[in-house]
Amino acid sequence: MDKIVAASTSTNQWQNLVTEAGHSCNVALSEELESYLVFLLMRFVDSPQMAHKIMATEFLTSINQSGSLRPLALRDVGDQCLLYSGLFPGRAVRRRVRVSYYVNIGKSAYFSLANSGKFSDNRLFATLADKFVCLMDILQSMREINNPLPVLDPITAEEIWHDTGSNHALKSLQNFTTKTGSLICSLGLSSSKH
């Protein structure tokens, strides 16, 4: 009996995770955006030095770069801001900034790339800037797959929803208020019996 064993590559694993998270938050990505997100995750999975960067400083430094270094530096800023806002929103809270700080810097970096006219993928970067919040939502949803705890606390969810219009943050708020309402009702019912 012959068996075919399909080896699951890290690319396939990331792609499956991104696809599942997209379904979870009702976002259908184009093949181009899905591929970009998968390769972004693969590129930064082993980059602990990213945690020590101050993105506003990185953005200003990249804007002032010249030549071929500028597009790469801007892309890295946009990518890292996307990862921070999507996978590590708690880092913003610990740094005493709002998640929208990363969203705004990331979108600005991608828009700068799109408008530079020097990068071969101007349209891609315009789309990344435009869909930044949707991509952030997918990354946040990814963190919640097979995890009973929400990635956003209620205050952070409200801030993100208010600042960016994030559908994932709104859904998190709705889930929290539903659970809180159910808890209040059950406490009210049980106390009325005594």
Residues 83-121: pLDDT tens digits? 999 998 988 888 889 999 999 999 999 999 999 866 668
Q: 26: which 2 tokens?
A: 């009702």
What integer is the mean pLDDT of 151-163?
Answer: 94
pLDDT mean across residues, the chain: 84
Residue-level pLDDT at 49? 65
CA distance 17 to 140: 11
Q: Is the pTM of this model over 0.95?
A: no
Closest to 115 in 3D by CA, of 130, 134, 103: 130
Of all residues in the chain, the percent with pLDDT exceeding 90 is: 51
